[in-house]
């Protein structure tokens, strides 16, 4: 009961219902459970492969070593819990959205880390990542912690500016931080209703 009500938010369920409705419309049949399961399993396999590719890129970006990237992707694909990646389950979509969001943040790190005191520039540089993290939150509640990822460097910059008494920059970073928090809350709230 806990997992049904709290662990899985309605993002994946709504997607499944949408695909089912589309299949019913295309086939003009009410009984599409078999094709739906096959389609979702195939989609999850594609999402798992995309997730592994982005995990490889993330590991290579962080370590600078393609060998570590291959090891990360291999462990991701062949760990004992990977059974969930190859069945009708929310994990592949969650992983794909999360890894893509983190990849975007890493690729644009030099740009968005300089934009804390410019809220519009900050959202232009990492808005797609925030949207993907919001989608992840709509799929699995554990992604709520990941939606704070852009806020960690922002908090460090806020503290540094505060210690240096750069009050205008502190105010601007604070505005960006509040806007980021409100964006994550809004994305999460969309899935609750």
CB atoms within 10 A of CB 186: 10
In angstroms, the Cα distances linking 178 to 65, 103, 104, 164 are 36, 23, 21, 21
pTM over 0.85: no
CB 11 within 8 A of CB 191: yes
Q: What is the pLDDT of residue 116?
A: 57
Number of structural domains, the chain? 1
Q: What is the pLDDT of residue 4?
A: 47
- The contacts found for 156-161 with CB under 8 angstroms, 24 or more apart, are 157/113, 157/116, 158/116
Q: What is the pLDDT of residue 19?
A: 85
Q: What is the pLDDT of residue 2?
A: 45
SS3 content of the chain, % helix, strand, coil (to 5): 85, 0, 15
Counting every residue written for the chain, the total comes to 193
Sequence-distant (≥ 6) Cβ neighbours of residue 170 within 8 angstroms: 158, 161, 162
> Which residue range(s) make up the domain with 8?
2-108+116-192
CB 149 within 8 A of CB 112: no
- Going residue by residue through the chain, which has 193 residues, state the pLDDT in tens, using 9 for 90 and above: 444 455 566 677 777 888 888 888 888 888 888 888 888 889 999 999 999 999 999 999 889 999 999 999 999 999 888 888 888 888 888 889 888 988 888 887 766 556 555 666 666 667 777 777 777 777 776 666 666 666 666 666 666 666 666 766 666 666 666 666 666 666 666 555 5
Q: What is the pLDDT of residue 49?
A: 94
């Amino acid at each position: 009961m806990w997992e049904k009500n709290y662990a899985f938010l309605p993002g994946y369920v709504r997607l499944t219902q949408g695909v089912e409705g589309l299949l019913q419309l295309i086939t003009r049949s009410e009984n599409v459970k078999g094709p739906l399961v096959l389609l979702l399993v195939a989609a999850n396999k594609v999402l798992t492969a995309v997730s592994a590719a982005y995990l490889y890129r993330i590991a290579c970006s962080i370590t600078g070593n393609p060998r570590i990237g291959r090891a990360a992707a291999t462990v991701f694909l062949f760990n004992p819990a990977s059974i969930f990646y190859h069945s009708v389950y929310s994990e592949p979509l969650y992983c794909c959205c999360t890894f893509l969001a983190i990849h975007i943040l890493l690729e644009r790190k030099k740009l968005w880390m300089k934009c804390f005191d410019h809220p519009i520039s900050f959202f232009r540089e990492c808005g797609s990542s925030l949207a993907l993290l919001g989608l992840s939150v709509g799929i699995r509640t554990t992604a709520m912690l990941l939606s704070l990822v852009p806020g960690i460097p922002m908090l460090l910059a806020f503290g540094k500016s505060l210690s240096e008494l750069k009050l205008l920059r502190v105010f601007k970073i604070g505005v960006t931080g509040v806007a980021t928090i409100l964006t994550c809350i809004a994305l999460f709230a969309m899935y609750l209703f």
